[in-house]
Amino acid sequence: MFVLSLAPSIIAIVGILASIWLQNLNNMTQREISLFEITFPERQQAYSTFMTNLDSMFSTAPINGFYSRDCDETIKIGKQVQLSSFRIEPFLREEARDSFMVKSTHAVAYALSECNKNMSKEKFDDEALKNYHHKSARMVSEFRTLLFTQLYSLGTDHSFIK
C-alpha cells in the first residue's frame, strides 16, 4: 500500500529528471549550432586559403624548378601553405590536428623536393611530371576529405566547443 502511494511521486520525479536531461541536451545542441554558425565564415575562409595555396604550390613547383631554375617562388608559396594551415588548426580535433600538420608539412617538403629535382634536369621528364601530378592530386584529395569532415560536420565532437 505504501509503495502504491509513492508511485505518483516516483513518476513525477522521473518526469522532472527526464525533462531536465532533455532541456540540457537541447541547450548543448543549441550551443553547438550557434558556435558552428559563428565560426563558419572563418572556417570557410581558412579552408579556401589553404586549398588555394596548396593548389598553387603543387601546380608551380616542377615548372619553377625546370624553367626558371629557381625555387624561391615555391618556397614562398610553401610558407603560405604552412601559415594558412595555422588558421585551420583550431577547428580540428586533436587527433586530426596532428595528422593535418604532419601532412601539410610533408606536402610542402614534397613540392620543394620536386622543384629542386627539376632544377638540375637537362630535359623535362613527362613521365616524372605525370607521377608528380598524380601524387599531388592524391594529396589534395586527402586534404579535402580530412578538412571537409572536420570543418563542416555538425554534430561531431569539435575540440573548440569543449
Reading the chain (162 residues) residue by residue, the pLDDT tens digits are 666 778 788 888 888 988 888 888 888 878 777 777 787 889 899 999 999 999 999 988 877 666 666 788 888 999 999 999 999 998 898 888 999 999 999 999 999 888 888 777 777 677 888 888 899 999 999 999 999 888 887 554 444 433
Query: What is the domain class of 40-152 according to CATH?
Result: mainly alpha
The ranges assigned to domains in the chain are: 40-152
Distance CA 64, CA 79 (A): 16
pLDDT of residue 93: 87
C-alpha cell at 50: 589553404
pTM for the model stands at: 0.71
